[in-house]
Each structure stands twice: as C-alpha cells, then as structure tokens.
C-alpha cells in the first residue's frame, strides 16, 4: 500500500520551499523554479501536519545551528539514484566534492555523467546536499534551484564566505 502524500510550503532565506511527504517520511523538497520538479498534482493535499520537525531542522540549518538532518526520508528513484543520494549525505557540512570524487566514491570513476545526472534529479534538495557537488575546477555548475541559491547555501555553510569559484 502506498503512503498518502501531503505537502506544505514554507518560507526560507532562498524563497518558498515546497515540502512533500509520503506518510511521515519526507520524499520531496523543492525550491521555486526548481528544475526537475514533478507535477504538483502528485504532491497530495496541502497540510502542515507532518512537517513540524522538517521545518524546525531547516530553520536551524539556515540559522547556522544545524549541520546534519535527522528527519526520515523516502526519496523515489532508481537504485543507482538512491545510492548517489545516500552518498551525497556523506559529504561533510562546509565541504564540497567534484563530480569525479562523487563517481569515485560510488566505486566507478567512469560514471561521472550518471552520477551528475542522479545528483541533478535529487528530490530532497538541501537535506540531501546535492549543492555540495561542484565542477572539477571548483566552479559552480548545475543546481536544480539555480546557481544563486547554490552559492547562497555554500556561502552559508562556509560561515558566510565560500572558496568556490563563481
């Protein structure tokens, strides 16, 4: 039996965030103008009932008081995508990896494009920190919420400054 989906929209320093849950598990976090955002008709009814802890942890993150998230997640994707998304969660707060490092950590340095594609389709942005992956020269590349938001998140994690090129 499939869990009933619900959603809510919260304010954040990077604009409105749409949170989607399947039962009690977070299965989506989408920014305004989010590339690869599913059709909103799949988000279920609007209800803030199950999102209190997610909203609290996101507030703590944006205030600089949280470096890891502990909410239950249920991303929907292929087995490979889920492996990539699990691996993204191991990138330490305030650090960045290149797409090559991501592919190497997955055990296949030739899978750079596949890892990058899975990274780009991450349905739970911020909490699954796809923003921590940068180009081989350290430049900001591809982010479903736009490069300005990626810069903001990286700057926030670097204490207001980022050594990542823009």
Angle (CA) 3 6 46, round 5°: 160
- On whether both 115 and 53 belong to a single domain, the answer is no
Phi, psi dihedral angles at 139 (to 5 degrees): -80, 155
Reported as a single tens digit per residue, the pLDDT across 64-120 is 999 999 999 999 999 999 999 999 999 999 999 999 999 999 999 899 999 999 999
- On whether both 87 and 151 belong to a single domain, the answer is yes
CATH number at residue 44: 3.30.160
- On whether both 93 and 25 belong to a single domain, the answer is no
127: containing domain: 79-157
Number of domains in the chain: 2
Please give the structure tokens belonging to residue 80: 């490979």
From 130, 134, 140, 144, active-site residue: 130
68 within some domain: no
End-to-end CA distance of the chain: 46
pLDDT score of 21 more than 50: yes
130 is catalytic: yes
- On whether both 122 and 54 belong to a single domain, the answer is no
CB within 8 Å of 104: residues ≥ 6 apart: none
């Amino acid at each position: 039996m499939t869990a009933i989906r619900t959603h809510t929209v919260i304010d954040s320093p990077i604009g409105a965030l749409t949170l989607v849950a399947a039962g009690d598990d977070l299965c989506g976090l989408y920014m305004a103008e989010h590339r690869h955002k599913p059709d909103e008709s799949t988000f279920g009814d609007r209800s803030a009932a199950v999102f209190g802890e997610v909203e609290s942890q996101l507030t703590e993150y944006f205030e600089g008081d949280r470096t890891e998230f502990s909410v239950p997640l249920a991303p929907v994707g292929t087995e490979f995508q889920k492996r990539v998304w699990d691996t993204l969660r191991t990138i330490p707060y305030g650090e960045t990896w290149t797409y090559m490092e991501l592919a190497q950590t997955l055990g296949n340095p030739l899978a750079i494009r596949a890892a990058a594609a899975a990274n780009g389709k991450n349905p739970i942005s911020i909490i699954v920190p796809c923003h921590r992956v940068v180009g081989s020269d350290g430049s900001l590349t591809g982010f479903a919420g736009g490069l300005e938001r990626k810069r903001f998140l990286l700057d926030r994690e670097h204490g207001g400054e980022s050594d990542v090129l823009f």
